[in-house]
A and B are shown apart, each in its own frame.
Chain A
Amino acid sequence: MAIDTGLLVVSTVTLSAPLVLAALGGLTSERSGVMNIGLEGTMLSAACAACFVGLQTQNMWLGLLAAVVVGVVLMQVHGILTQAFGIDQIISGMAINALAAGATSFVNKGFLTLGVTARPVLLPKQFFWIAALAAVFLIGVIMNRTRAGLRLSAVGNDPDKSRQMGVDPIAIRYLALAATGLLCGFSGALIASNAGSFTDNMTAGRGYIALAALIIGGWRPWPTLIACLGFGLIEALQLHLQGTQLAGASVPTEFWTSLPYLVTLIALAGLLGKNRAPAGLGRP
């Protein structure tokens, strides 16, 4: 079984870039102490917004803008639910995912019944690759070398003590969630751009894989990037290896398709012992 290395690299990058953006979004949120399983729904909504604004306006920048706005709005909703109303962070995240799945499907159906067949205009994926790399670098610098990063991790580790030191945990968390929305907006727009048009549930669990990469990366930007590349590589291999034979036996396609999810499971189970989670994660 011969694999074209060049092609593998390209598909690895293609498949990891949305993970990187989403995982970094998860990073800003979770380092501030807000658990965020709503990444999936936020990405899906952003992808939907990018597609349909890109279709209507035929302007790729407006598509990206729409994705970012939708992402930021959804994450502020998560903030309001968890910080102002004290709703459990997991439940709020699940609500966002459920809302996104229903709403995007509804919008999509609306367009299908209108009989719209034109393709949306979207930014090229290379733009997002650069954005993803820049985001890793930027977040690395922010976390380690700025006041914002210091306050973010202080709030994530101990909101009460931070408040005593004159830092407002709630304000910081809203800001962190805005950053999450922004990054998930980019990630969703990229997924749309990879596919070319919107289909129901097109993020297909990437939000959860991004979360897994974030955990494996120990909530730090560069290790998270590497974890995302790993997941991208597995997904790329999966595409390349489908239909090939392993040790003389033919392997069902389903095995390869399930591979990324399997690895996620094993990685999470194996790494739970070395917990580097922010100490204040989930604390109101």
Chain B
Amino acid sequence: MHGVSQTFGSVRALQEVDFVASSRAIHALVGENGAGKTTLMRILYGGLQPDSAEITIDGSPVHFRTSAEAIRAGIGMVSQHYSIISELTCLENLMLGAEPSWALNKAAAERRASELARQMGYSFEWKAPAADLSPAGKQKLEILKLLWRKAKIMILDEPTAMLSPGDSDALFASLKQLAEQGATVIVVTHRLPEVVEHCETVTVLRAGKLVASKAVRDTNLMELAELIVGHSVATSSYEALERRETLFRATGLTVKGYRGDDAVKAADLEIAEGEVVGLAGVDGNGQRELFQAIVGRAKVKAGSISFAGSDWTKRPPSERLADGLRLIPEDRHAEGVIDDWSLTENAALGLQRRHGFARGPLIDQKGRWAAAQHIADRFRTKHGGLNAPMKSLSGGNQQRFVAARALESETRFIIAFQPTRGLDIDGTALVYGAIREECRKGACALIVSFDLDELIEQCDRIVAICNGSVVQPGSGLERDRAAIGRLMVGAT
């Protein structure tokens, strides 16, 4: 791939990036969140149309308009969240999109599937629904899907994000085997130990630009880390918190999911004053339901929620907001802002009864304007005037605005779901810095994220959620990547 550029709106996601990978090797593509790794790979896979790019495979130029074309050219991609459809069986998932003929011969397909699995040393219950698979099982099925499609170039985006360390090693052993058989394996990751241990070449991206491309044996962990961040890395240090008064407490909390089963099962969670607690877990393990129950939108089936001595279990959201609850929701369009309203009007959402926004039953126009100004300035939201509609802002700027609003007035408890979605490194630092600041002043925070590394970096303590149960890592392991990773996938 040569001279790849891509812009989203006014953001330059990739600028003149070159990327070369040869067969029979594992290549690593590394960089921070938002460096453009996934964008580059989606272009190769036909999922995005670049502004400019020259892509050649085996010396001949190619141009993919859809993923289907890329698949036909022998490119396979395993995305971070997998593309396995839970409602189909393992065999159906394996075949989907690459069925041998219009009529499905399931017996023959199963024979070929088992043969492929045997080559890789896997075994599968082909007729079982894919929903029963563990994350490691899904990853194995994804690899078999690549083989089923006879992919010669295999792209794996953050393949170990949902795997325990043991499963990760097994995965790389499989990838090595595939590379030895002639495949070109590209691994997108931000875990450097994996790169040093398992890969042959590494390409580093930073803020959409190519920083380095070299053989792994010519570099080391520290050098890579510096290349990625752009300056030498200081190991982060945290001031130890003395245990203070518990503000938020959920006891035996059970919440029904939309399919009728219990999505959160007897969860216990305590957050003390000044604490930033991370909730780590693989997507779909009950995080949403827990979030909804805490903000007061989902009914609590059993157990209780309390905050600073007042029982929240049955309280309406408005009273929880009055107690100081502030949220940064997952989907800002659905839950955070009203697209057609101005920034000023959006500034008051959820805070409309607070001092500074209202004077009795009347809107405090001046106060609201001042607050909107403050909210917009806080995280340097780029906007075209406070009267412009919210939808005129880019996604990242909307997120800055929503995050700043949650921290605007009388904040006592911040609950954030993927608060840095769509934010660049600068925005991420600003948001977490401000959350930390509020907590220092006596608030507390719960951060839900699917990115364990981000939580480890930003939180005081991390608890895991797996299949609806909230599990606490043992004492001393509150920020231990391996321990929490195991809890996330239900291993003990």
Residues of A within 8 A of B (CB): 145-151, 153-154, 157-158, 161-168, 273, 275, 278-279
Pair B102/A168 contact, Cβ less than 8 Å: no
Pair A275/B259 contact, Cβ less than 8 Å: yes
- Min CB–CB distance A230 → chain B (angstroms): 24
Pair A147/B88 contact, Cβ less than 8 Å: no
Given A157-B85, A166-B68, A168-B68, A151-B96 contact (CB < 8 Å): yes
Given A164-B77, A166-B66, A150-B85 contact (CB < 8 Å): no
- Would you list which residues of chain B between 46 and 105 have a CB under 8 Å from chain A? 47, 66-68, 71, 77, 79, 82-88, 92, 95-99, 101-104
Pair B260/A147 contact, Cβ less than 8 Å: no
Pair B79/A164 contact, Cβ less than 8 Å: yes
Pair A162/B104 contact, Cβ less than 8 Å: no
Question: Which chain B residues lie closer than 8 Å to A167 at the CB level?
Answer: 68, 96-97
Pair A166/B103 contact, Cβ less than 8 Å: no
Pair B104/A154 contact, Cβ less than 8 Å: no
Dominant SS among interface residues on chain B = loop
- Min CB–CB distance A281 → chain B (angstroms): 11
CB-contact partner of A148 in B71, B85, B88, B102, under 8 A: B102
Residues of B within 8 A of A (CB): 47, 66-68, 71, 77, 79, 82-88, 92, 95-99, 101-104, 106, 145, 259-260
Pair B260/A157 contact, Cβ less than 8 Å: no
Pair A153/B103 contact, Cβ less than 8 Å: no
Pair A162/B87 contact, Cβ less than 8 Å: no
Question: Which chain A residues lie closer than 8 Å to B260 at the CB level?
Answer: 273, 275
Pair A147/B87 contact, Cβ less than 8 Å: no
Given A147-B104, A273-B260, A279-B86 contact (CB < 8 Å): yes
Please report the number of residue pairs spanning A and B whose Cβ atoms sit closer than 8 angstroms: 70
Instruction: From A147, A154, A161, A165, name the one whose CB has the most chain B CB atoms within 10 angstroms.
Output: A165
Pair A166/B85 contact, Cβ less than 8 Å: no
Pair A153/B104 contact, Cβ less than 8 Å: no
User: Bound state CA distance, A268 and B352, in angstroms?
Assistant: 41
Given A154-B88, A166-B67, A146-B103 contact (CB < 8 Å): yes
User: Bound state CA distance, A149 and B259, in angstroms?
Assistant: 24
- Selected A-B contacts with CB under 8 Å, 13 pairs: A147-B104, A150-B92, A150-B99, A153-B87, A154-B92, A154-B96, A161-B82, A161-B84, A162-B96, A166-B98, A167-B68, A279-B86, A279-B87
- Chain A minimum-CB-distance residue to B87: A157
User: Bound state CA distance, A130 and B157, in angstroms?
Assistant: 52
Instruction: From A146, A157, A164, name the one whose CB has the most chain B CB atoms within 10 angstroms.
Output: A164
User: Bound state CA distance, A101 and B67, in angstroms?
Assistant: 43
User: Bound state CA distance, A170 and B274, in angstroms?
Assistant: 49
Pair B85/A147 contact, Cβ less than 8 Å: no
Closest A-B pairs by Cβ, 4 of them: A165-B97, A166-B68, A147-B99, A166-B97
- Chain B minimum-CB-distance residue to A158: B85
Question: Which chain A residues lie closer than 8 Å to B104 at the CB level?
Answer: 145-147, 149-150
Question: Which chain B residues lie closer than 8 Å to A149 at the CB level?
Answer: 104
- Chain A minimum-CB-distance residue to B88: A154
Question: Which chain B residues lie closer than 8 Å to A161 at the CB level?
Answer: 82-85
Pair B67/A163 contact, Cβ less than 8 Å: yes
Given A157-B88, A162-B96, A275-B260, A147-B101 contact (CB < 8 Å): yes
Pair A165/B101 contact, Cβ less than 8 Å: no
Pair B85/A162 contact, Cβ less than 8 Å: yes
- Min CB–CB distance B108 → chain A (angstroms): 12
Question: Which chain B residues lie closer than 8 Å to A146 at the CB level?
Answer: 102-104
User: Bound state CA distance, A43 and B433, in angstroms?
Assistant: 61
Instruction: From B66, B82, B85, B106, name the one whose CB has the most chain A CB atoms within 10 angstroms.
Output: B85
- Min CB–CB distance A140 → chain B (angstroms): 13
- Min CB–CB distance B283 → chain A (angstroms): 13
Q: Contacts A146-B104, A161-B83 given; 20 further ones with Cβ under 8 A?
A: A147-B102, A147-B104, A153-B87, A153-B88, A154-B92, A154-B96, A157-B85, A157-B86, A157-B88, A158-B87, A162-B96, A164-B77, A164-B83, A165-B67, A165-B96, A166-B97, A167-B68, A273-B260, A279-B86, A279-B87
User: Bound state CA distance, A148 and B47, in angstroms?
Assistant: 23
Question: Which chain A residues lie closer than 8 Å to B106 at the CB level?
Answer: 145
- Min CB–CB distance B151 → chain A (angstroms): 11
Question: Which chain A residues lie closer than 8 Å to B82 at the CB level?
Answer: 161
Question: Which chain B residues lie closer than 8 Å to A166 at the CB level?
Answer: 66-68, 71, 97-98
Question: Which chain B residues lie closer than 8 Å to A153 at the CB level?
Answer: 87-88
- Chain A minimum-CB-distance residue to B101: A147
Question: Which chain B residues lie closer than 8 Å to A165 at the CB level?
Answer: 67, 71, 83, 96-98, 145
- Min CB–CB distance A2 → chain B (angstroms): 45
User: Bound state CA distance, A165 and B146, in angstroms?
Assistant: 10
Pair A150/B83 contact, Cβ less than 8 Å: no
Question: Which chain B residues lie closer than 8 Å to A158 at the CB level?
Answer: 85, 87
User: Bound state CA distance, A186 and B79, in angstroms?
Assistant: 43
- Min CB–CB distance B131 → chain A (angstroms): 10
Instruction: From A166, A273, A279, name the one whose CB has the most chain B CB atoms within 10 angstroms.
Output: A166
User: Bound state CA distance, A162 and B85, in angstroms?
Assistant: 8
- Chain A minimum-CB-distance residue to B47: A164
- Chain B minimum-CB-distance residue to A272: B260
- Min CB–CB distance B34 → chain A (angstroms): 21
- Min CB–CB distance B243 → chain A (angstroms): 43
Pair A147/B103 contact, Cβ less than 8 Å: yes
- Chain B minimum-CB-distance residue to A163: B67
Instruction: From A146, A151, A154, A279, name the one whose CB has the most chain B CB atoms within 10 angstroms.
Output: A154
User: Bound state CA distance, A279 and B102, in angstroms?
Assistant: 24
User: Bound state CA distance, A164 and B96, in angstroms?
Assistant: 10
Question: Which chain A residues lie closer than 8 Å to B84 at the CB level?
Answer: 161
Question: Which chain A residues lie closer than 8 Å to B98 at the CB level?
Answer: 165-166
User: Bound state CA distance, A162 and B77, in angstroms?
Assistant: 13
User: Bound state CA distance, A277 and B145, in angstroms?
Assistant: 26
- Min CB–CB distance A270 → chain B (angstroms): 13
Question: Which chain A residues lie closer than 8 Å to B87 at the CB level?
Answer: 153, 157-158, 278-279
Question: Which chain B residues lie closer than 8 Å to A147 at the CB level?
Answer: 99, 101-104
- Min CB–CB distance A238 → chain B (angstroms): 33
Question: Which chain B residues lie closer than 8 Å to A164 at the CB level?
Answer: 47, 67, 77, 79, 83
User: Bound state CA distance, A161 and B88, in angstroms?
Assistant: 12
Question: Which chain B residues lie closer than 8 Å to A157 at the CB level?
Answer: 85-88
- Min CB–CB distance B391 → chain A (angstroms): 15
User: Bound state CA distance, A164 and B71, in angstroms?
Assistant: 10
User: Bound state CA distance, A154 and B95, in angstroms?
Assistant: 11
User: Bound state CA distance, A168 and B69, in angstroms?
Assistant: 12
User: Bound state CA distance, A275 and B67, in angstroms?
Assistant: 33
Question: Which chain B residues lie closer than 8 Å to A275 at the CB level?
Answer: 259-260
User: Bound state CA distance, A273 and B67, in angstroms?
Assistant: 38
Pair B259/A162 contact, Cβ less than 8 Å: no
User: Bound state CA distance, A165 and B130, in angstroms?
Assistant: 16
User: Bound state CA distance, A7 and B97, in angstroms?
Assistant: 49
- Chain B minimum-CB-distance residue to A145: B104
Question: Which chain A residues lie closer than 8 Å to B96 at the CB level?
Answer: 150-151, 154, 162, 165, 167
